[in-house]
Amino acid sequence: MRLGGRNQLSGLSCRMLQAAGIDRRTVGDIAELSICREVAFRATHRGSDRLEAVLAAAEELLSQEANYDFVVAFLEDVQNLVSHRIQTLCSAGEITARLGPRCAVCLSALTDFWASVANWCARAGIALESSEKIVSVQNDQLRQLVWTASRTLPDGSMLGLAEAVLYEKAGGAPIPGYGHIAAAMKIAGQG
């Protein structure tokens, strides 16, 4: 699926903005992947009354294969955000407790992917930096960008897009496609 660029917001973006309570006019002229970041950033803040609506919209959108890449990008942003264990954001447990079955399968696939990246980095001798630098960022726009583009591992080290690209280029398996949702739900007795 090709995600829309500037001035080409699809129904996906509009649906997620609506669920997050964000007026389309307030986000300006941004790309759809930026919409994922914006919605994830706002919905995961403690005290947000929109988290359940946003996750329900993501679950609904996952009923169609054409929406998969968009929703996975959003869920990855959510997962990256909460990995930093920042007090003003929800915890990973708070997120997983609210997921529908399709979103849960996708989040599990993302967890597995990033665990594989971390394991590969350890085996390849790639030193990871601490996430302290990005967690202390004060500018909201910069926070949104760097917090969703990287994740903090339990030991405090940070994985980012660069490590994921290196992992895939070295032959690591990419994030599974849409077909794994139905298979995983069938195994779990939900499909």
Note whether residue 3 is domain-resident.
no
Note whether residue 116 is domain-resident.
yes
Would you place residue 98 in the very low, low, confident or very high pLDDT band (cuts 50, 70, 90)?
very high
Q: What is the pLDDT of residues 34-43, one digit of tens each?
A: 899 999 999 9
Q: Give the domain range for residue 74.
A: 11-187
Note whether residue 70 is domain-resident.
yes
pLDDT given for residue 2 in this prediction = 34
Encode burial over 63-80: b for 16+ CB neighbours within 10 A, e otherwise: eeeebbbbbbbbbbbbbb
**Contact between 38 and 27 (Cβ < 8 Å):** yes
Note whether residue 43 is domain-resident.
yes
Would you place residue 6 in the very low, low, confident or very high pLDDT band (cuts 50, 70, 90)?
very low
Query: What pTM did the predictor assign?
Result: 0.89
- How far is residue 170's CA from residue 148's CA, in Å, rounded to a whole number? 24
Note whether residue 35 is domain-resident.
yes
Percentage of the residues of the chain whose pLDDT score is greater than 70: 90
Report the mean per-residue pLDDT for the chain: 89
**Contact between 43 and 20 (Cβ < 8 Å):** yes
Note whether residue 5 is domain-resident.
no
Number of domains in the chain: 1
Residue 32 has pLDDT above 70, yes or no: yes
- Higher-confidence residue of 104 and 183: namely 104
Bridge partners, 45 (sequence order): 89
**Contact between 131 and 157 (Cβ < 8 Å):** yes
**Contact between 130 and 158 (Cβ < 8 Å):** yes
pLDDT given for residue 39 in this prediction = 94
Residue 66 has pLDDT above 60, yes or no: yes
Question: Nearest-5° angle of CA 12, CA 172, CA 161?
Answer: 55
Note whether residue 63 is domain-resident.
yes
Residue 10 has pLDDT above 90, yes or no: no
Note whether residue 4 is domain-resident.
no
pLDDT given for residue 185 in this prediction = 64
Q: What is the pLDDT of residues 128-143, one digit of tens each?
A: 999 999 988 989 889 9
